[in-house]
Structure 1
Amino acid sequence: MKLSLKHLALTGALVLAHFFKAAAQDGTVPDMNYYLTHAPFKMPALTEPHFNGKTYNIQDYGAVSNGEYLNTEAIRKAITACSAAGGGTVHIPPGLWLTGPIVLQSNVNLHADRGALIIFSPDHAIYPILADNKVQRLISGNNLENVGLTGEGIYDGSGDTWRPLKKSKAAPALWNDLTKSGGVVSTDGSMYWPTKEGLEGEAYVKGLKGKPNLKPDDYLPARDFLRPNLVVISNSKNVLIDGPTFKNSPMFALNPNNCNNLIIRNVTINNEYYAQNGDGIDLSACKNAVIYHCTVNAGDDGICMKSSTNKNANADEAGLQNVVIADCIVYHAHGGFVIGSNTDGGMNNVYVTNCNYVNTDIGIRVKSNRGRGGLVHNIYIDNVFMHDILNEAILFSTYYEDNGTNQNKVVPVTNLTPKFQDFYISHVYCNNAKTAISITGLPEMPVNHINLSDVVISAQQPIVATEASEIVLKNVKIISPEKTLMKLDNSQNITADNIQYSNETTTLVAATGTKTSNIKISNSNAKKLSKPVQLGTGVDKSTVHIL
């Protein structure tokens, strides 16, 4: 169906207005439990951890709030005393608190008041290399039960003393300021590092490969290159992160790993747009989790799902499953909602709803490649509102960080082949993207069974699909100046019902690739277009059916 740009914009606005009116008709904003009970799959009930009533103020253990005194030991003593007494709350009152790494313990809630600013020391020597040959995380906990990070305090990771900067990502003024302030620049002039050790660390680590009997201290010369994440809680259950701001992280800001019964809410992530590997919230192989009412600015992925193989897990069970993400805003990131790139542990049952992505590089981003893949399915995304997306509003890519040498070549399917299927994307609205929808599968494993309904996107480029199958577009509106609406290459079983487009459109489908077949278009008025179908060499004339 052919519509003017003005009509499409108006229609989208009316739909949005209707949604917000319905959501607010009882005068309340849905709470976390509303989203859990309305998930499109059976979501287990999440239980908030409860802590004993006693409070342990870090000042009672020697902490000093002057921004100069190192409070690492005072905070450690307070946490240890709290845990030894059966748990409770460790209290960080308003003030400027300098510290080294903080290690959480079971049954302890670390609560930082509004007005508390916790600065992690820029002295890298106080962050040891651990048994996994990684730098001690700034806040960490492993094998814990019943643990919390709460309050409206701010945790600053002093990441600017750790992170490199790509010249291509930096404004000229920023690049000039940093290079004049100290640090070193790579020989090709493309990368700045705060320290010489950081610049040389990658080559040093590569030189260790294959050497026997390596110990953590063998990696110390590369500490600045390895860089710690700000918060990593691993192999734990009953975890609550409620209220804090995490900023200026050396790498990922918030990275729960293999956690069960996890609640993240009212959290703010503030990493600079140029923060290399500065992801916001990354869930790695977590189960039964909610991310609710969070705001993210990130230098890399905004809210990201990752899953790698856990040797102790049931091989038939997805590494990441039963996750709800609701009422979140991502202002700047490489992707608003992201899956991958490591998906080899599998993902099942993820629900994203009522989120905003503004000025992100990509809106909804699903990525992996051969060697990192696994089965990712039963992903539900609805009521997502986006504006000024630099590249794709919706992207599926199975060639992430691929140098292109094996593209278009069929290779054997393994347990590490990316398998993206059974996605349900509805009521998604985007104003101003470079590309509306891009789907790129593998010759041996197409992206398949992707269902898009009630979607409105304005973009320079409309729809592109390569190696895709079983794609359903229903009530999809694309506002674009391009003459061709859908470019389909080696794609099969594509159905478009009531797809709507701009006055500039002259061709509904351009089909290429000998594998392209069974394209069905209905309720589109396509026959009124000057050239509704264009077929490439080798594409059968019966490939596209206009009903």
Structure 2
Amino acid sequence: MHPHPSRRSALRAGGALAAGTVLPVAASDVADAQIRRSDPAAAARAAWSRLPDILDRIRPPRFPDRWFDITQYGAVGDGTTKNTAAIRAAITACHRAGGGHVLVPAGRFVTGAIHLRGGVDLHVSEGGILAFSPDPADYLPAVLTRWEGTECWNYSPFVYAHNQRGVAVTGEGILDGQARRGPWESWYRTGTLQGPDQRLLRKMGSEGVPVKDRLFGAGHYLRPKMVQFNRCRDVLISDLTIVDPPMWTVHPVLCTNVTVRNITVESLLHNTDGVDPEASRLVHITGCRFNTNDDCVAVKAGRDEDGHRVGVPSEDIVVQDCDFSGRWGGITVGSEMSGGVRRVFAEDCRINPPDFPGHYPVKYPVYLKASKKRGGFVDGVYVRRFSGQAVEREVLFVNMDYNGGEGGTHPVSVRDIHLSHCRIDGARAVLRLVGLETDRLRGVHLAHCDFTGVRGPDAVAFTEGLTRRRVTVNGVEVS
């Protein structure tokens, strides 16, 4: 198939951001490195002292008090009528008027792909449901996307914006991916459908095939994301309940200034992460609840050679006051992190909370995944005041040999992981740290933590600079 005619202009629009910028090393960064080596507690305090300034720079977009009700453009909320054209018309009118709110009122509105434009808030009111069509044809023509960290042209995400400024999806209504009604899970499960396309795309990325020639979509089996903002600025996702996505749920990629607040994610099919900020900066995820069949929040930055080509890190990511009930990690970094990750902050989150029982228990409240196939770096993950229970495996798992069978020769660096004031009851162990003989894990620091119901010992390999200060395990202080 042939992609959308605007493919070339879309690639040009994102080129400047994708190219990345090399910044000089500031004197303050050199000083920070010296503090990290000599005094981990001071380094953590210095990092956390930056948080107010980071949050002050993350400002949700505002929209004019203009409202465009989709029913005025022909939409019918009967659960049967397909309303893609009506919703698109309302979005176009709102954008041309200078911005505002596109209203989805009470009712069940079936739709295909929704493409947002600058200045538009798609507002799904209480009692309103956007039910996404199970027909893959409703997500064509293909759009520029990033699929598991590699750029390509593929089925449109269900809600998509590309190179827009000031876009939002808000309201107390529901986005229903209806993934169980579509073919998406069968593409993943059989191994004979998605697998060949997945391997082909990774090969294209590793071999440097031009993005314009990485054509998927019709006749292929790469599942679309639920909500993706691609190369956007000033993004807001607020108050919604999002259920049954076909793959990753909320995916800001190559974005700046993103707020995700007070959403609930129910995603129980395979490979359905909650929120995946990728190669993005100034991202605030707060007050959210995750019941997922994969990672809850997963910070990413591109995969393998294609991630290095784009070369944009994720940085200044803040996660606060969230409930984590997910099959793998609570706060996760990787495994697609080839562009690098720096300054991830997570605080006041609850693991497997009894008042929000998830379908799966969290395996790792804090989970970092890297490898020499990916390369790249993780520099600074700061976690404090996590509480919870019934962790299936380790509280902190750092694995620098993720998918070790893939091989690879890229240098990889993971350093400065801080956990403080955490209280977890029930885990297989507290730490599982897997560095590499050639690329050591450097600087893992625990302070003022209390772990109870721990069933086994830590496992630590090729790790330098591990410190524990005022840490108790099953009532015994560990130094």
Instruction: Report the TM-score when normalising by structure 1.
Output: 0.69
**Partner of residue 422 from structure 2, selected from 403, 414, 428:** 428
How many angstroms does 1:203 deviate by? 3.3
Q: In the aligned structure 2, how far is the partner of 1:337 from the partner of 1:284? A: 14
- What amino acid is the match of 1:394? L
Match of 2:172 in 1: 152
Report the CA distance shift for 1:447/1:269 in structure 2 as closer, same or farther (over 3 A).
Answer: same
Contact 1:130 1:216 in 2 (8 A): no
How many angstroms does 1:159 deviate by? 1.5
**Which structure carries more helix by proportion?**
2
How many angstroms does 1:380 deviate by? 1.1
Match of 2:402 in 1: 400
- What amino acid is the match of 2:477? Q
Contact 2:216 2:222 in 1 (8 A): no
How many angstroms does 1:311 deviate by? 7.3
What are the Cα deviations for residues 323-368 of structure 1, in whole angstroms up to 9, with x where unaligned?
Answer: 2110001112311110110222112221100001112121110111
Match of 2:109 in 1: 97
Contact 1:201 1:221 in 2 (8 A): no
Match of 1:47 in 2: 59
How many angstroms does 1:240 deviate by? 1.1
Match of 2:99 in 1: 87
Q: In the aligned structure 2, how far is the partner of 1:427 from the partner of 1:163? A: 45
Residues 126-145 of structure 1 mapped to structure 2, 5 A cutoff: 126-128=138-140, 129-130=142-143, 132-145=152-165
Contact 1:40 1:380 in 2 (8 A): no
Contact 1:421 1:447 in 2 (8 A): yes
Question: Matched residue pairs, number?
Answer: 407
Match of 1:343 in 2: 337
Q: In the aligned structure 2, how far is the partner of 1:365 from the partner of 1:248? A: 24
Residues 1-400 of structure 1 mapped to structure 2, 5 A cutoff: 39-40=50-51, 42-43=53-54, 44-128=56-140, 129-130=142-143, 132-162=152-182, 192-193=189-190, 199-203=192-196, 219-222=217-220, 225-272=221-268, 275-308=269-302, 319-358=313-352, 359-400=361-402
Q: In the aligned structure 2, how far is the partner of 1:311 from the partner of 1:391? A: 32
Q: Percent identity between the aligned chains?
A: 26
Report the CA distance shift for 1:276/1:37 in structure 2 as closer, same or farther (over 3 A).
Answer: same
How many angstroms does 1:462 deviate by? 2.5
Report the CA distance shift for 1:400/1:237 in structure 2 as closer, same or farther (over 3 A).
Answer: same
Q: In the aligned structure 1, how far is the partner of 2:193 from the partner of 2:335? A: 26
How many angstroms does 1:202 deviate by? 3.0
Q: In the aligned structure 1, how far is the partner of 2:335 from the partner of 2:227? A: 20
SS at match of 1:125: helix
SS at match of 2:455: strand
Contact 1:72 1:101 in 2 (8 A): yes
Q: Which runs of 5+ in 1 are unaligned?
A: 1-35, 166-182, 185-190, 481-498, 502-520, 522-547
Report the CA distance shift for 1:218/1:37 in structure 2 as closer, same or farther (over 3 A).
Answer: closer
Q: In the aligned structure 2, how far is the partner of 1:115 from the partner of 1:270? A: 17
SS at match of 1:281: coil
Instruction: Report the TM-score when normalising by structure 2.
Output: 0.79
Report the CA distance shift for 1:219/1:259 in structure 2 as closer, same or farther (over 3 A).
Answer: closer
Q: Which runs of 5+ in 2 are unaligned?
A: 1-46, 145-151, 353-360
How many angstroms does 1:215 deviate by? 6.2
User: Which has the bigger relative contact order, CA under 8 A and spacing at least 6?
Assistant: 2
What are the Cα deviations for residues 427-451 of structure 1, in whole angstroms up to 9, with x where unaligned?
Answer: 1111111121111101011111111
- What amino acid is the match of 2:195? E
Q: In the aligned structure 1, how far is the partner of 2:196 from the partner of 2:299? A: 30
Match of 1:500 in 2: 477
Report the CA distance shift for 1:219/1:267 in structure 2 as closer, same or farther (over 3 A).
Answer: closer
Q: In the aligned structure 2, how far is the partner of 1:444 from the partner of 1:260? A: 34
What are the Cα deviations for residues 248-285 of structure 1, in whole angstroms up to 9, with x where unaligned?
Answer: 0110000011111111101111111xx21111111101
How many angstroms does 1:201 deviate by? 4.5
Report the CA distance shift for 1:363/1:204 in structure 2 as closer, same or farther (over 3 A).
Answer: closer
**Partner of residue 479 from structure 1, selected from 470, 474, 477:** 474
- What amino acid is the match of 1:96? R
**More deviation, 428-437/67-76:** 428-437
- What amino acid is the match of 2:461? T
Report the CA distance shift for 1:111/1:371 in structure 2 as closer, same or farther (over 3 A).
Answer: same
Report the CA distance shift for 1:476/1:258 in structure 2 as closer, same or farther (over 3 A).
Answer: same
How many angstroms does 1:37 deviate by? 9.2
Q: In the aligned structure 2, how far is the partner of 1:226 from the partner of 1:101? A: 16
**More deviation, 204-213/435-444:** 204-213
